[in-house]
Amino acid sequence: MFKRDIIGKLSAWAKINGRKPLILRGARQVGKTTAVNMFSNLFDQYIYLNLELKEEKRIFEQEYSIDELIRAIFFYKDQVRGNGKVLIFIDEIQACPSAVSYLRFFYEIFPDLYIIAAGSLLETLIDTHISFPVGRVEYLVMKPLNFKEFLNALDEKSSLDIINNTIPVPDFAHDKLMKLFHIYSIIGGMPEIVQKYSEQKDILALNNLFDGLIVSYLDDVEKYARNHSMAQVIRHAISTAFYEAGNRIKFQGFGNSNYKSREMGEALKVLEKAMLIYLLYPSSSVEPPLLPNIKKSPRLQVLDTGMLNYFAGFQKDLFGTKDIDSIYQGKIAEHIVGQELLTCDTSPLYKLNFWSREKNQSSAEIDFLIQFKNMIIPVEVKAGATGRLRSLHQFIDRAPHNYAVRIYSGQLEINQIKTLNGKDFILLNLPFYLAGRIFEYLEWLMSH
């Protein structure tokens, strides 16, 4: 399997003095178990426990002292604890609440052990019947492959080297990088899908895998629904989300249903905790703090753009065009950029927002807001002339700085522009394939 960026984060965690047990969060099928298995090569001993297996779950349910538990784990796995570095990976930890409570004792009594826990349904249980040891664990979030990981998986070494190590990216690389990003936009970043594509280079061969993904998510519904009727609502929300992705949504009647706002809101928030969707809320902020308005309609982002394309039927349209801006009113382009921006941060607190200013006579909206240093930077995903970026102009007129970003299919470019009201500002035009490096390019722009 191909290397994932999260392994670098795991390596940094392992070097921390006073290291706490790590909880690796993320949706099912994003590659958590595979990543930890690869990371385990850095250790002298590795123990893998899957708490969805009854016999492995039972170890944590015997009310052992922490010393007895450690001895029981090594005994069960037929290992003798040596003097080297030991990694213990507790997978599907949400299946066993008592295992979660043991995490604090690992931190307090066995700080020399390296403990990682993971669970694809963990997020739905954090604020319900499982109590996490506050201050004694830390978190990382894993998402589908970003574009750089995609290039690595396809063994596109020269393209990856240019994106990683050359700022600015040279013009001669543009056409090839856009073609590769176009493929990434079609198939997305789910590891199993990317692995199969890297082997066969056949998009149609991926259809069974996409079907398998949605079936696995629908099968999980019973595990995180509190009752049968809520399971029905969640099942409808999953099935409908791909058709509504990219749109601002209302909870009431979501997906042409008769469900009320409260029950559909609860279902969508469960899916957000399970990291199958993201609800992006509008903000009218032009300077920190970035305050989302959760009373307004959110925009729906799903886990993966490849899944969106397959289930909403856009795959064929994308395959037949060179311009991803033209499909689904530009929402696929916007969605894949959102996916790239979400992978810029592995904190569970990291959220994306967009800018919205609504007045009686007119409204203005900007696709994304990101916080960079002490500034909120507006990010538009748009083709066309720079003079048409009216919402950006309105934002810049109100902001205490003069920087904006446009992500589009053209080449890297810096424009000095005046707003319609005459304020000078700098527009950083980034090609799609650099969306995930937006922070490095802002740093480069402001240092020149």
Mind listing the pLDDT tens digit for each residue in 306-321?
Answer: 999 998 887 666 666 6
Q: How far apart are the first and last CA of the chain?
A: 39
The Cβ of residue 347 has, within 10 Å, a number of other Cβ atoms equal to: 9
How many Å is the maximal CA-CA distance in the chain?
A: 74
pLDDT-based confidence at 4, cuts 50/70/90?
A: very high
Asked if the peptide bond before residue 298 counts as cis, ω within 30 degrees of 0, the response is no
User: Which residues are CB-contacts of 373 (< 8 A; sequence separation ≥ 6)?
Assistant: none
Give me the mean pLDDT over the 102-129 stretch. 77
DSSP secondary structure, 143-169, as one string: -S--HHHHHHHTT-HHHHHHHHH-SSP
Which token pair is 407? 């992500």
Which token pair is 12? 């940094």
Percentages helix, strand, coil for the chain (3-state, rounded to 5) are 45, 20, 35
Helices 174-187 and 305-312: crossing angle, nearest 10°? Answer: 60
C-alpha closest to that of 278 among 225, 358, 201, 341: 341
Give me the mean pLDDT over the 67-76 stretch. 95
CA distance 99 to 116: 12
Strand order in the sheet with 86-91: 45-50, 86-91, 114-118, 22-25, 138-141
CA distance 439 to 446: 11
CA distance 6 to 26: 12
The Cβ of residue 112 has, within 10 Å, a number of other Cβ atoms equal to: 9
Per the prediction, the chain carries an average pLDDT of: 90
Q: Which of 212-221, 304-313, 325-334 has the lowest mean pLDDT?
A: 325-334
Integer CA distances (angstroms), 327 to 103, 313, 330, in order? 47, 11, 5
pLDDT digits (tens, 9 = 90+) for 240-273: 999 999 999 999 999 999 999 999 999 999 899 8
Integer CA distances (angstroms), 421 to 384, 394, 418, in order? 21, 9, 8
CA distance 436 to 438: 6
The overall pTM is greater than 0.75: yes
CA distance 335 to 299: 10
Q: Which of 71-80, 133-142, 226-235, 269-278 has the lowest mean pLDDT?
A: 133-142
Provide the residue ranges of all domains of the chain, joining segments of one domain with +.
6-141, 363-446
292 has a pLDDT exceeding 60: yes
CA distance 167 to 170: 8
pLDDT digits (tens, 9 = 90+) for 349-377: 889 999 998 776 667 899 999 999 999 99
CA distance 89 to 98: 16
Please give the class, per CATH, of domain 6-141: alpha beta
